[in-house]
Structure 1
């Protein structure tokens, strides 16, 4: 059994990727469809099925509205995280440039 807590928006999840890559794993069980991947679940399901494997979702969403709301929430969350990450990176870069300029001015 492999446990990994992560968002389906994040495509850099080592344990989940290892399960997908390991042909000896015949069945992958996930709690919610969006924990596997937020988008393209049917692609993964189809590819696994092609190789005689399956992915099973334990808690199916009650309605398609629930799925859509979850998708919208994850998209907004992902964009906010990227935006704040870009801002943080810009501030870090600006601080480093100021430090380098200050060091150069001293020399």
Structure 2
């Protein structure tokens, strides 16, 4: 079980639980994955039937941006499936898709989000679901009694830099086309950093 989920069930703040994990003072067994993520094995919750199957199907959603990343896509799908099995899901369904995270033109994801039989959606990183506004999708699903599990919820970049990069990439994609968008966004950020110096 993820730290955030266990903290919510126990009525604790996630930061407190992470601190206990690092200090080795957790009242229940924990393990740290090779990526640094903490998994909590609380018998009180693990002996019950897995929550995802009670609410509907559990689907692992893997996405990459371009077709030359097919090997990455398969590895991502394998990691998600292993995570779901470790979570107690008997036979997790895996959906793989190639497409940009900047727009809503992803058929497979749209199908999953509109399917009420999908109770739990597992993604590796928040940006695999959507580059922008992933929180809105999460809130909408939560209101329907469904949920999204993000396997590695650590932020890779500073929030402000990440948001600025996403906005610049989106604008550049509209102005210059998708191919040049990332390059132009990087140039714009580089120019902003040079201005500060």
TM-score range, shorter chain: 0.5 to 0.7
Higher strand share: 2
Deviation at residue 70 of structure 1 after TM alignment: 2.4
TM-score (norm 2): 0.38
> Aligned in 2, Cα 1:33/1:68: closer, same or farther, shift over 3 Å?
farther
Match of 2:10 in 1: none
Match of 1:73 in 2: 165
Larger RCO (alpha carbons 8 Å, 6+ apart)? 1
> Aligned in 2, Cα 1:72/1:6: closer, same or farther, shift over 3 Å?
farther
1:56 pairs with 2:149: yes
Match of 2:98 in 1: 5
Higher helix share: 1
1:38 pairs with 2:136: no
Question: Which is worse superposed, 24-33 or 35-44?
Answer: 35-44
Between Structure 1 and Structure 2, whose CA radius of gyration is higher? Answer: 1
Gapped regions of structure 1 (runs ≥ 5) = 86-107
How many pairs are equivalent?
Answer: 84
TM-score (norm 1): 0.65
Gapped regions of structure 2 (runs ≥ 5) = 1-93, 178-197
